[in-house]
Amino acid sequence: MEINQSSRLTDKNRTHPFILSELDSQPQPSAQYPAFAPKEAEQIIIEIKNLSLHYGKFKALGDISMSIPQNKITAIIGPSGCGKSTLLRSLNRMNDLTPKVHIQGQILLDKVDILGANVDVVEVRRRVGMVFQRPNPFPKSIYENVAYGPRLYGIRKRLDLDNLVEYSLSQAALWDEVKDKLHQSGMALSGGQQQRLCIARALAVQPEVILMDEPASALDPVATLRIEELMHTLKKSYTIVIVTHNMQQAARVSDFTAFMMIDNPATRTGVLVEYDKTIKIFTNPENKQTEDYVTGRFG
Amino acid sequence: MITNQASANSLPLIRPEINYSRRKLANKLMLSFTGLLTLAALAPLVWIIGFVAIKGSQTITWAFFTQLPRPLGMAGGGVLNAIEGTLILTIIAAFFAIPPGILAAIYVADHPNTPLGASVRFSTDVLSGVPSIIVGLFGYALVVKTQGHYSALAGGLALAIIMFPIIVRTTEEMIKLTPRNLREGSLALGAPEWKTYLSVILPAAIKGIITGILLAVARASGETAPLLFTALGNERYEIGQIISSGIRSRQGVWSIFNRIIEQPVDSLPLTLFKYSQQPYPERVNQAWAAALVLIGIILALNIIARLWVNYSSSNLKGK
């Protein structure tokens, strides 16, 4: 979806044919930072309820509530240090690895709170995969990189692994490029190929949600475009949540966009300012701060 | 930013050509000075190796590697007992030092700021500074006194104490050098920590860890003091002899193995130390030859370690 920002953002009163009329009938936000619930048409896969996160005494996330619809791409944008990555890493409990983190609130994955005490973290991470900012293939062969996850879950038969590797690499649009060198090191690939290998590796354990933490920020424009195209294909089968610094990227790839910011310079707590359809965020945002940010007038 | 009223015309002109020859001369002087000092630093190494090579090569024959020492005053004979003893001692030391060293390093790298992690790191630092003669006395009190006799086992344990801190520190550094996101990539797939270390982090760091182990082995195989009270020395030690006599008298593998590690053994540094104090010129010459063999082994280990590092760093980049 292409958005010509400059012309559409300058004239707020213009009516846009592609802005659905339902926008007008949306309920007005009641709280200071509203929890946006996508329309009933969307199936919700992850529901974040009043999530707050502390690093020691520092409150990094303040009272965030948002619902992530299934088979859509949800982008989280905002200035550096506003807690985007922290929020993303909460969704598969990667923050467990950081010392002194304390989380309050709920994150419901299919109605089950993944922050609960007796939740199996391994199962959460299998269902919610992750792709990182810098490509991080293991120092193993391409085949072994992809087979690593399935092996963890007890898949041992050569034929099953072969099938999974081929399927995952095809899904990640990498199969044709690597099918003749599956047993070469994954680290010998180019940056963009490495990132697609990491996506294939995440897909191999058959997740439902894929978290992407600035997946293209270390890549050149051509590789970035391939990743974005890939995301479009992947959303037919998976739900994608992407953190990005690149607003054009968020506008290009996402269906929904969440804008986060720090509440004030003293406390530096990240809050969710606005969350809505991407078109609305980039053309007709409710909040002044959102508008300033997406038009590049600040930060 | 210039805030006063200075105009561009009143600024002094910067003229690079002034003092050019003086600066060039100073540069040349300093460069030759550093080069000279580098040579001075290298000189002892070349001197030692050259001296030992000249002195030692006169005595080195094939028999020197394959025969046991002859009785005092007789020419000929070799240091097979010491070469085999060095090998056995090093294997025993590696067996006791490497697995706990790597496990401790994983813990320290993973929990640097916990009380246990900090104290393990502190105590390995202290341990690496303990004089090696004290390590030998400790081995004597711990193993020799309880067993009632000197043995290769006691010597190997003493050497293991020397190796342990080296292995912990190098392995810890290597683990810390593996990219953090490699670890996260594995954990994000749902892998438990032990699996992540076993199949991602240790393989990524393995070349560096092996280098550290080789350096620790080189260090331990050159130690004398810890062996004085533990391995003692044994001029009749010959593994081939022990094994073949064991097979002839139909002993089990375990009892042959026991006879190998339960006896006092010699090592190259120990032989060098003892021979050089004796009034027999053949023995003194053999001490030089033993020194040459020892230096050769340690040099070879160091060179292998370096080559391995170069090879592995190019390998990790996938080029």
Residue in chain B lying closest to A203 (CA): B189
The token pair that represents A2 in the structure block: 């292409």
Per-residue pLDDT tens digits for A145-168: 999 999 999 989 999 999 999 999
Whether residue A10 has pLDDT greater than 80 = no
| Residue contact B186–A138, C-beta within 8 A | yes
Of the candidates A135, A216, A139, A174, the residue with the CA atom closest to the CA atom of residue B317: A139
User: Domains in chain A, please, with CATH?
Assistant: 33-134+208-294 (3.40.50.300)
pLDDT at A40: 52
Split at pLDDT 50, 70, 90, the class of A210 is very high
Assess contact for B266 and B85: CB atoms under 8 A: yes
Query: B-chain residues within 8 Å CB-CB of A132?
Result: 181, 184-185, 188
Give the ipTM.
Answer: 0.80
User: pLDDT tens track of chain B, all 319 residues?
Assistant: 555 666 777 788 888 788 888 999 999 999 999 999 999 999 999 999 999 999 999 888 898 899 999 888 788 888 999 999 999 999 999 999 999 999 999 999 988 889 999 999 999 999 999 999 999 999 999 999 999 999 999 999 999 999 999 999 999 999 999 988 899 999 999 998 899 999 999 988 888 898 889 889 999 999 999 999 999 998 889 888 888 988 898 888 899 899 889 999 999 999 999 999 988 888 899 999 999 999 998 888 888 888 887 776 655 544 3
C-beta of residue A226 within 8 angstroms of C-beta of residue A196: yes
Q: What is the structure's pLDDT at A24?
A: 39
Closest A-chain CA to B180: A136
pLDDT value at residue B110: 87
Give the whole-angstrom CA distance, residue A231 versus residue A208: 14
Q: What is the pLDDT of residue A6?
A: 40
Structure-token pair, residue B156? 């190997």
Q: How far apart are CA A257 and CA A280, in angstroms?
A: 9
Of A125, A133, A139, the CB nearest to B189: A125
Residue A238: pLDDT over 90: yes
Residue B17: the pLDDT is 80
Going by pLDDT thresholds of 50, 70 and 90, the confidence category of residue A249 is very high
CA distance A201 to chain B (A): 8
The DSSP H or E segment spanning A52 is: strand A44-55
- By Cβ distance, the residue of A99, A124, A152 closest to B191 is A152
Residue A242 has pLDDT above 70, yes or no: yes
Indicate if the pLDDT at residue A239 is higher than 70: yes
Q: What are phi and psi of B112, to 5 degrees?
A: -65, -30
Both structure tokens of B97? 């030092």
Distance CA A286, CA A14 (A): 15
Q: CA–CA distance from B307 to each of A187, A188, B210, B214 (Å)?
A: 21, 21, 12, 12
**CATH architecture type of domain B75-316:** Orthogonal Bundle (1.10)
* Interface touch B318/A94, C-beta < 8 Å: no
| pLDDT computed for residue B15 by the predictor | 81
Q: Which residues of B12-34 are buried (b: 16+ CB within 10 A; e: fewer)?
A: eeeeeeeeeeeeeeeeeeeeeee
Distance from CA of B97 to the nearest CA of A (A): 27
| More confident site: A1 or A187 | A187
Domain locations along chain B: 75-316
Mean per-residue pLDDT for A88-105?
90
In the predicted model, what is the mean pLDDT of chain A? 85
Question: So what's the pLDDT on residue A27?
Answer: 41
Contact A189 B188 (CB under 8 A): no
What's the rounded mean pLDDT across residues A9-13? 38
Strands A128-131 and A209-213, by their bridges, are parallel
Please determine, for residue A64, whether its predicted confidence score (pLDDT) is greater than 80: yes
Residue A11, pLDDT score: 38
pTM above 0.80, yes or no: no
Q: What is the Cα–Cα distance from A290 to B229, expressed in whole angstroms?
A: 77
Average pLDDT for A248-268: 91
> Which candidate from B187, B191, B318 shows the least CB-CB separation from A188?
B318
The tokens describing A104, both together, are: 């309050």
Instruction: Tell if the CB–CB gap between B190 and A187 is shorter than 8 Å.
Output: no
Of A129, A140, A187, the CB nearest to B188: A129
Predicted local confidence at residue A84, as pLDDT? 93
Q: Which of A90, A92, A97 to mutate to test the interface with B (most CBs of B within 10 A)?
A: A97
Confidence band, pLDDT 50/70/90 cuts, at residue A201: very high
Check: CB of residue A192 under 8 Å from CB of residue A222: yes
Provide Rg for chain A, Cα atoms: 20
